[in-house]
Amino acid sequence: APLIHFENVGLRYGMGPEVLRDLTFDIPRRSFQFLTGPSGAGKSTLLRLLFLSLQPTRGLIRTFDRNIATIPREELPMLRRRIGIVFQDFRLLEHLTTYENVALPLRVRGKDELSYRADVIDLLKWVGLGERINVLPPVLSGGEKQRAAIARALIDRPELLLADEPTGNVDPPMARRLLSLFLELNRLGTAVVIATHDLSLMDQVDARRMILSQGRLDIYE
């Protein structure tokens, strides 16, 4: 089964119009895709559905083979742990070091620091932040903050990584570096969805494209 399956999914906010209409698609295991479309087309909304932070107003979503409409609320955090998300505005905690930000998801679950300290440091080295482990986010550049946010999303080894405009705040060389990181992660087995407006980024890889327009989705394999 695919990681995620959408069938005739529609979404409206309150009494407003449907902002997503009749979405039917899969996110296969180990796949790599861009999600694109004009501003207001529904990309953020679709990411929220994929992250299980929003329920569809109609249709079926299966996530890791579970119908999300029937999952008890208290089980959602456990499923969400299998999905990493990188927000456009990073959402790093400013009073915590890079290391502490990345370790936070494990710490809040009450894990013993001895069991994860080396993993956090290895991951920070992998994203190129080996020299920035003990600094606070305000000291980091845009590209470094982005990589810290990526590391935090990866610390639980998710099966799916969602990234919202990950190259929105970095220069072209850093954008290429981030893209190589996502591709490498994908080679290691993680499915990746990158929401982006950045045509030059998409031109660098021959990847699946999910294009939203006026709430409808077209997929180019």
Binding site for ligand ADP (CB under 6 A): 13, 16, 19, 37, 39-45, 88
CB of 112 to ligand ADP, least distance (A): 35
CB of 13 to ligand ADP, least distance (A): 3
Residues 6+ apart with CB under 8 A from 117: 103
CB of 150 to ligand ADP, least distance (A): 17
Query: Which CB atom, from 44 or from 98, has the smaller least distance to ligand ADP?
Result: 44
Query: Which CB atom, from 50 or from 123, has the smaller least distance to ligand ADP?
Result: 50
CB of 161 to ligand ADP, least distance (A): 17
> Pairing relation of β-strands 4-12 and 18-27?
antiparallel
CA distance 12 to 18: 4
CB of 46 to ligand ADP, least distance (A): 7
Nearest to 58 by CA among 104, 99, 22: 22
Query: Which CB atom, from 41 or from 120, has the smaller least distance to ligand ADP?
Result: 41
Query: Which CB atom, from 89 or from 131, has the smaller least distance to ligand ADP?
Result: 89
Query: Which CB atom, from 87 or from 126, has the smaller least distance to ligand ADP?
Result: 87
Label residue 29 exposed, middle or buried (CB < 10 Å: 0-12, 13-18, 19+): middle
Helices (H), the chain: 43-50, 76-80, 98-108, 113-126, 142-154, 172-187, 199-202
Contact 34, 196 (CB under 8 A): yes
Tokens representing residue 156 in the block: 């639980």
